[in-house]
Amino acid sequence: MHGRRKRAFVLNLENTRECKLKQLNSDWIVGPTAWEIFVNKHPELGYKPGRMNFHNFLRHAKGELVSMDAIRMAKHKFWIAHEERFSLGAFEIATSTLPISVRATESNTSRNEAPK
């Protein structure tokens, strides 16, 4: 390779490495991985890791987690989760004493009320 072409190739390689490093440092991870981190962080709650356990938890908690921007659907196929917000939201949901439907109604009403 000639000098100029070689330098362009090396610069391109460096840019590719930087992009890969940025992707590796993302706060978003696949849902079952976030679930496993949450379960390992809170063994006192008695949840088990695993893809199906994650989906069973989502049956009841999906709406709240989406409204907290803790999970998102990617490519209309699978869930991705924000590592920090998912753990905080899942813990809040798992330890709350109110039924999910009541909590959702209360949070929607409090958002819609005008400040006094």
pLDDT digits (tens, 9 = 90+) for 3-40: 555 555 445 555 555 555 455 568 999 999 999 999 99
Q: Are 31 and 44 in contact (CB under 8 A)?
A: no
CB 107 within 8 A of CB 67: yes
The Cβ-side half-sphere exposure at 114, using a 13 Å CA radius, reads: 1
Judged by DSSP in three states, 75 sits in coil
DSSP, collapsed to helix, strand or coil, labels residue 21 as: helix
pLDDT of residue 5: 56
pLDDT tens track for 39-97: 999 999 999 999 999 999 999 999 999 999 999 999 989 999 999 999 999 999 999 86
